Structures are given as C-alpha cells and as structure tokens.
Amino acid sequence: MSGIARPETAATRPGGGIVAPVARVLTVAGSDSGGGAGIQADLKTMQALGVHGMSAVTAVTVQDSLGVKEVHQLPPALVRAQMEAVLADIGADAVKTGMLHSADTIRAVAEVLRDCPELPLVLDPVVAATSGAALLEPAALAELRRSLLPRVYVLTPNLPEACLLLGRAPGAIDSVDAMLDCAHALLQLGPRYVLLKGGHLAGAAARGQAVDVLVGGEEASGGHPAAVESAPAGSVKILAGDWWDTPHTHGTGCALAAALASYLALGRTVDDAARAAKSYVAAAIAASYPLGSGRGTLAHLPPIRPYRRPARASRALPSRGPDGAR
C-alpha cells in the first residue's frame, strides 16, 4: 500500500478518516503477555482518559511479573499494514511508539508516518525492560536516531535510555542540572520537545520527590504539527511530583507516553499534557497492586482509589479525576 488513502467525501480530522466523536491515538508497540506494559498498558491508559486507542503490534513478548522470557518480532510489513489500515479508515489525532525492536521495523514506521506529517508523535525509546531484558536490537539504535527522532514531537526517555541515545556512560546523569544538560543535548537529535524522566535519579526516593524536565520549543527541528500549540521557544519546565514507595511500577514509562499522546490528541498544549500525564501516572502508581512473584502493575481504569501514602505523608494525594488535575 503506497501512502495513506484519505476519504474525500466527508469532513476529516488530522490523520484522515471521518470526523470521530472521540479523540483517537494509535500506539505502535510490543505486546506484554502479563498485561502490565506495552500495548496493554497503552490501551488501558487511553481508555481511562476517554480516548479511543488503536494498536499496531510490533512484537509479542513472553513475560510475567518477573521479567521478559522471549521476544518474537512481527514482520515489518505486517506492522506497516496495521498502521496503514487504521490511519486510512479511522484516522488518528496522535501516535505513540514504544518497543520497535529492530531497524527494519523502525524504517517501516517512519515510512508510514511520512504520509502523516500533521500527526504529533510521542516516542518512548524502549531499549530494555525493567528486568534488564533487551528490547531494542543494537543495530536499531542508529536507525532510530536517523529515521524517527527528527520526526518526533515529544521524546520521553528515562535516564538510562537518554545516556544510551547520547552515547554517555550509564549513571552520568546525577543531578537536575545534568538532566537539563542531557535534555538539551537530546533536542539536537531532532525532537521538538524532550520530557526526560527522573525516576532513576540518585536520591529521588530519599527526597520523596520524582523530578522530570521538559525542554523544547520552536528552535528545535521543524516538520511537526502546526495545529498543536507549542510552548515558547527554548522553554524549560521542571515537573516535580511525589515519589511513591512501591515496587509495583511495571509499565510506568508506557503509561506516561500514552497519557501524553492522549492529552495531545485532546488538544492540550505540550506543557499541560506533560503535567496531566505525570499526575495520571502518579495516581495510577498510588493505586498499583501486586501480581505474581515479582513487580505488580499500575491501576489504570477508574475508579482509581489510592490506598498508599507517598514517602512524604504531608503531600496531598493526586486527584482521581479523569483529566489528572490535582
């Protein structure tokens, strides 16, 4: 299929398709048989936020609460076909990518998205599972930098992923100032915005605070959706939130990127979308629950009823409202 066919007989929204009664987000990611991460986490997040979620599966993983046992990549042509089918008929208001696994799949995804330059792309650069299992082939990293990063609207790496993308030593980011330096360096790879997650920052648990940084604006590369309102050029935002003392955090990165894409699809600014996504994930962590013999998962679908207090008990619990507002 060459290009995305656009219906011409009805009013359309960005990404093609007939006007939809709800915002639409396409996730391109791997499947988690344990249900905590990947497309399962993405679709739960989108449903919780009132967005219609669609999926293009890139790989099937065999995993449980203890980790990833096997990874089986789907043919890149099949990934492309899933994306084209959804975009040609239903359309989308945003796209989120997670585990892409191989250089061939990255190329296929990039080629499809060239036909949809107006769609904001949120890229979660999934390199490894929480358990340490590799989820991106070594040869794919260069292809990710070349084919997709210049097309990205918001990049959402954690600290280890950021170090890998920049070729820096693991653990090189040891302060908020270092996070800001790293985030600005990532902007030079092409994304319009970088939301760098600080959950791995040394001392975060002791401080009882999870700090993320959002940098970007119009000075970064072009080719991104003009319809989505941008923050001022060169803007820097420090997003601080409660640190939740629990091991049951499987799928947090997936949920954050999916929530961010959902809020962008709903028309939020990048700044508002990032803050709301962080609040959503905090509420889902507060209500997380144990599963199996390892890490439990976030509680996505409402009602989200936190039963766990943050490390600093004086801090108020996040709102349980669907928009993530406190």
Query: 61-93 burial, b for 16+ CB within 10 Å, e for fewer?
Result: bebbbebbeebebbebeebbebbbebbbebbbb
Is residue 268 a contact partner of residue 274, using CB atoms and an 8 Å limit? no
* Known active-site residue 12: no
Is residue 243 a contact partner of residue 208, using CB atoms and an 8 Å limit? yes
* Known active-site residue 251: yes
Catalytic residue among 30, 197, 241, 297: 197
Catalytic residue among 98, 253, 294, 324: 253
Residues whose CB is less than 8 angstroms from the CB of residue 308 and which lie 6 or more positions away in sequence, other chains included = 244, 245, 246, 286, 287, 288
Catalytic residue among 16, 30, 36, 251: 251
What is the amino acid identity at position 171?
G
The C-alpha atoms of residue 44 and residue 121 are separated, in whole angstroms, by 19
Phi, psi angles (nearest 5°) of residue 11: -60, 140
CA dihedral 30, 32, 37, 38 (to 10 degrees): 20
What is the amino acid identity at position 183?
A
Catalytic residue among 27, 61, 97, 252: 252
Helix (H, G, I), strand (E, B) or coil at 58: strand
Query: Cis link prior to 310 (omega < 30° from 0)?
Result: no
193-196 sheet: strands from edge to edge: 67-73, 52-64, 24-32, 94-97, 121-123, 154-155, 193-196, 209-216, 235-242
Catalytic residue among 254, 278, 294, 296: 254
* Known active-site residue 97: no
* Known active-site residue 249: yes
The C-alpha atoms of residue 317 and residue 189 are separated, in whole angstroms, by 37
Give the chain's radius of gyration (CA, Å). 18
Q: Which residues are catalytic?
A: 197, 249, 251-254
